[in-house]
Amino acid sequence: MFSKILSAAVLGIDAYVIEVEVHLEGQSPYFSIVGLPDGAVREARERVEAAIKNCDYRFPLKKIIVNLAPADIKKEGSALDLPIAIGILASSGTLLQDSLNDYILLGELSLDGNLRGIRGALPIAVAARDAGLKGVMLPEENAREAAMVAGIDVIPVESLEKAVSFLNRETEIEPFRLNMVDVFSNQQSYTIDFSDVKGQEHVKRALEVAAAGGHNILMIGPPGSGKTMLAKRMPTILPDLTIDEAIETTKIHSVAGILPANTALVAERPFRSPHHTISDAGLIGGGHIPHPGEVSLAHHGVLFLDELPEFKKNVLEVMRQPLEDGKVTISRAMISLTYPANFMLASAMNPCPCGYLTDPNHECTCTIPMIQRYRARVSGPLLDRIDIHIEVPAVSYKDMASRAKSENSAAIKERVKKAHQIQLDRFKFYKTIYYNAHMQSKEIHKFCSIDEESQELLKMAITKLGLSARAYDRILKVSRTIADLENSAEIKAYHVSEAIQYRSLDRDLTTTL
């Protein structure tokens, strides 16, 4: 007695179809699962047997062989419980087999036969559509997520009994439907706003420039100056996610298992803020079968690293590839996976070990060598990928007590969107460049030409302020963004002057003390 059920598994952020083959023979009770199952899949034997019996179906006292094909790819997770149970019931004659190959079946079984949610419902629904199948059958709590994929039927079931009844054509289950545009628009709302921040107008301006040009930013200031508060509001001024970006972001969060229950789509820009004790595997991704790390969970959003020098040096160094390429490749003995990691880096640090170098209300006790060693924890190659360094001073009592309304995020966002559109038009013939921050030397030379007055200003800044050579290209790219915010085709001297202010860490330390 033989049956074949279609299911799916996730590899990276994409899914592939699995054939769950079930064979019954003899009269000696035996249950084996083959095809590179992990521990959770092997434990399905106990869950499936208990669920079948508790739903008042007869569990066959035979030799049961379950094969998961293709057999050369590791299978992990508990989503294969339902197809294994259905395969056993079909092989024993409890189920009709003529409709089993129309749907991909997924779901974790509880011992009483109810279904629990799974990971990766969205990429699995995409795989079902691409395979030309009629639809997917999965737990109710994953239905909204899977229904974001048009062109397939999403059949939500709450128990093994409901699944059997539907497949035997004893009951009808209405496919779950969603209006994707309505879901997308309804979930785009932020509870925080730039108008919440008192003072720090020049820092808000730097964040606006960073958001407009896709520039990575580093904020340097004493404790309590508002660095974290400002960083958390960065997603509120970034352009809205497109539907394609939202679906790609949702796939990553779904695979990682952090998509909230009954959430159909990640419609807001992600904001991830890992603690400085995080490992390199936690940041980049890892595991026996690599799972996405924080850089991928921040895809199309903001990755905020607070207390940047406190991160381990090897952790910071592994960020160089995703910052450069917009993706991260994780290689293991049996598999190599690539996850998208196109994020904007926002980071913060104190100006010195004690934190009070630039605070007029507290005395700094650090020596110049101590400050130099502290700042050297952030390597030059990483700083090379951060275009804007902005000093965040302590907030004055006057600003804290002020009742004046600050500019809200919506107003800033409008300017950012207009500047972004200018860049999209500028780089429409470039496949890998979308923001000014992505420009390389060739593009900088083409799009960032400056007049003699600006050249003299830049020369004076490099010689008088001790700016490093790496600052030159960064200043030009940031100047281009500032000009775009003003809808200016030419980069003018005051654009360059403002950009120079955003390179504080490149200055000779002795000139700032």
| Cis preceding-peptide flag for 360 (omega within 30 of 0) | no
Domain annotation covers residue 259: yes
CA dist 41 and 79 (Å) reads: 8
Of residues 182 and 322, which shows the higher confidence score? Answer: 322
Question: What residues pair up with 63 in beta bridges, in sequence order?
Answer: 25, 30
What SS3 string covers 396-424? Answer: CHHHHHCCCCCCCHHHHHHHHHHHHHHHH
Domain annotation covers residue 412: no
If you count them, how many residues does the chain have? 513
Residues 224 and 158 in one domain: no
Give 334-403 as a DSSP string. S-EEEEE---EEEEEE-SSSSS-TT-TTS-----HHHHHHHHTTS-HHHHTT--EEEE-PPPPHHHHH--
- pLDDT tens readout for residues 467-478: 766 788 889 999
Burial of residue 56, with CB atoms counted within 10 A of its CB: 0-12 exposed, 13-18 middle, 19 or more buried: exposed
Residues 251 and 373 in one domain: yes
CATH of the domain at 281: 3.40.50.300
CB 303 within 8 A of CB 346: yes
- Provide the mean pLDDT of the chain: 89
Half-sphere exposure in the Cβ direction for 394 (13 Å, CA): 15
Domain annotation covers residue 200: no
CB 255 within 8 A of CB 385: no
Domain annotation covers residue 485: no
Residues 26 and 149 in one domain: yes
Contacts (Cβ under 8 Å, ≥6 apart) of 213: 387, 419, 423, 435, 436, 437, 477, 478, 480, 481, 484
Last-in-domain residue among 403, 427, 446: 403
Last-in-domain residue among 369, 403, 437: 403
CATH of the domain at 85: 3.30.230.10
For 257, list phi and psi in degrees, rounded to 5. 80, 20
Per-residue pLDDT, averaged over 317-339, amounts to: 85
Domain annotation covers residue 320: yes
In this structure, how many other beta carbons lie within 10 angstroms of the beta carbon of residue 97? Answer: 15
Residues 342 and 231 in one domain: yes
Residues 42 and 102 in one domain: yes
Domain annotation covers residue 490: no
- Whether the predicted pLDDT of 407 surpasses 70: yes
* Candidate from 49-53, 74-78, 293-297 with smallest mean pLDDT: 74-78
Residues 65 and 158 in one domain: yes
Residues 221 and 139 in one domain: no
For 175, list phi and psi in degrees, rounded to 5. -60, 140
Residues 388 and 245 in one domain: yes
CA 366 to chain centre: 38
Q: At what angle do helices 201-213 and 471-485 cross, to 10 degrees?
A: 90
Q: What is the pLDDT of residue 87?
A: 94
Categorize the per-residue pLDDT at 292 as very low, low, confident or very high, splitting at 50, 70 and 90: very high
CA 51 to chain centre: 36
Using alpha carbons only, how large is the chain's radius of gyration in Å? 28
What SS3 string covers 189-247? Answer: CCCCCHHHCCCCHHHHHHHHHHHHHCCCEEEECCCCCCHHHHHHCHHHHCCCCCHHHHH
Residues 224 and 330 in one domain: yes
Domain annotation covers residue 272: yes
Last-in-domain residue among 403, 431, 448: 403
Would you give the DSSP letter of residue 310? G
Question: What residues pair up with 345 in beta bridges, in sequence order?
Answer: 303
Residues 99 and 246 in one domain: no
For 21, list phi and psi in degrees, rounded to 5. -100, 130
For 188, list phi and psi in degrees, rounded to 5. -90, 85
Domain annotation covers residue 496: no
CA dist 328 and 321 (Å) reads: 7
Residues 159 and 283 in one domain: no
Single out the residue of 401, 413, 359, 350 nearest to residue 198, CA to CA: 401
Number of domains the chain contains: 2
CB 495 within 8 A of CB 488: yes
Domain that holds residue 377: 215-403
- pLDDT tens readout for residues 177-225: 887 777 776 666 788 899 988 888 999 999 999 999 999 999 999 998 8
- pLDDT tens readout for residues 238-282: 998 888 898 899 999 999 988 887 777 888 999 999 999 999 889
Residues 349 and 297 in one domain: yes
pTM across the whole model? 0.89
- pLDDT tens readout for residues 139-163: 999 999 999 888 899 999 999 999 9
- pLDDT tens readout for residues 458-468: 888 888 777 76
In this structure, how many other beta carbons lie within 10 angstroms of the beta carbon of residue 407? Answer: 14
